[in-house]
Every structure is written in structure tokens, then in C-alpha cells.
């Protein structure tokens, strides 16, 4: 595919799985996107393994009309708990900086917004991890949550498509 054409391509809905698959449950977002690849998705829905790309996610995020992010989220609940929230509900100022060389997803979203190229809606679906440690397999508790999270993402896609049709 023409690289420049790909850089200009817009997404109605971008489903972005983020996380590090080398750190067990930290990779749940990527694993959910992998599972979604076997599903029949409506036109205009794009899947992306965002891994740990950080700032490199700016380009695809800025081309998305609506964005669904799937990631491991440590919020203190039981392993496998599933969260759904809008990105604008997160107080980024209160989040700790873990590295001067890493850029968080919320910082990328903020940069896109400052440039006037942010998605109209950003939904985050998070899964409470059990273990973030070296290893490429999800823990059994989190592996059991992949299919229910896939279903939740599919419901979210339908909700977003319904809102688009109503506009």
C-alpha cells in the first residue's frame, strides 16, 4: 500500500489494543485486538496493535473519528475486573510520570487535542491485571476475560455506529 495514502486514511472507528505482550497481563489489550481479527467487523472499523508505540500512536489516533482503547488498567479491583470509561474522565494531571522517555496514551490524546486532531469520542475498556511480570502468556484469570472483553468492544462499536447514523 502507498505509505502516503495510508497516512491520509481516516478511520470511522479505530480499536486500539495497547500494552506490552512481554509482561503477561500487561498485553491484554493487544490480545483482545488479536481475537477481534477473527470477527466480522462492520465497514469503517480498523483494528490496530498499538503495543508500546507511545508517541508513534499520534498519527493513527489523529485520523480516527472515534477511538476505542483496550488496555490493562490497575485500579485496585479484583484481577479480571473490566472497566469502561471515557478518556475525558481521567485526571491526567494526577497520574505519575514513570519515565521521561515514555509518553502515555493520555499524553498522546492531549497532543492530538491541542493540534485540533483528536477523535470526537474516546472510550477506554480496561482489564485489571493479575500479574505484570516477564512472560508472554496471560494469566488464566485474564485469559478468561478476553472473550467477554471482545464482546464488550463489539457492543461499543455498535453503539458508536448507532450514534453516527443518528447524527
Mean pLDDT (the chain, rounded): 88
Alpha carbon of 155 to those of 23, 74, 107, 121, 151: distances in Å? Answer: 28, 23, 27, 15, 6
pLDDT for residue 97 is more than 50: no
Q: Do 131 and 25 form a contact (C-beta atoms < 8 A)?
A: yes
Provide the pLDDT for residue 164: 66
What are the pLDDT digits (tens) for 105-117? 888 888 889 999 9
What are the pLDDT digits (tens) for 124-161? 999 999 999 999 999 999 999 999 999 999 999 999 99
pLDDT band at 166 (very low <50, low <70, confident <90, very high): low
Provide the pLDDT for residue 109: 87
Total domain count for the chain?
Answer: 1
> Residue 126 phi/psi, 5° resolution?
-115, 150
Provide the pLDDT for residue 35: 98
Range of the domain at 59: 3-166
Q: Which of 153, 157, 166 is nearest to 34 (CA)?
A: 153
Alpha carbon of 26 to those of 21, 29, 95: distances in Å? Answer: 6, 8, 18
pLDDT for residue 29 is more than 90: yes
- How many Cα atoms within 13 Å fall on the side-chain side of residue 117? 15
Share of the chain above pLDDT 90, in %: 69
Which position has the higher pLDDT, 91 or 82?
Answer: 82
What are the pLDDT digits (tens) for 37-59? 999 999 999 999 999 888 899 99
Task: Supply the CATH number for residue 120's domain.
Answer: 3.40.50.1450
Amino acid at each position: 500500500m502507498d505509505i502516503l495514502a495510508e497516512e491520509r486514511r481516516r478511520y470511522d472507528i479505530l480499536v486500539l489494543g495497547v500494552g506490552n505482550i512481554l509482561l503477561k497481563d500487561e498485553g491484554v489489550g493487544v490480545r483482545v485486538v488479536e481475537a477481534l481479527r477473527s470477527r466480522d467487523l462492520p465497514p469503517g472499523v480498523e483494528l490496530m496493535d498499538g503495543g508500546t508505540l507511545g508517541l508513534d500512536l499520534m498519527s493513527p489516533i489523529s485520523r480516527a473519528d472515534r477511538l476505542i482503547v483496550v488496555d490493562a488498567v490497575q485500579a485496585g479491583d479484583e484481577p479480571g475486573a473490566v472497566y469502561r470509561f471515557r478518556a475525558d474522565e481521567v485526571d491526567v494531571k494526577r497520574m505519575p510520570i514513570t519515565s521521561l522517555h515514555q509518553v502515555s496514551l493520555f499524553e498522546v490524546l492531549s497532543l492530538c487535542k491541542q493540534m485540533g486532531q483528536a477523535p470526537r469520542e474516546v472510550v477506554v475498556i480496561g482489564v485489571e491485571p493479575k500479574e505484570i511480570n516477564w512472560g508472554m502468556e496471560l494469566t488464566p484469570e485474564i485469559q478468561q476475560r478476553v472473550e467477554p472483553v471482545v464482546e464488550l468492544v463489539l457492543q461499543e462499536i455498535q453503539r458508536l455506529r448507532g450514534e453516527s447514523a443518528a447524527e
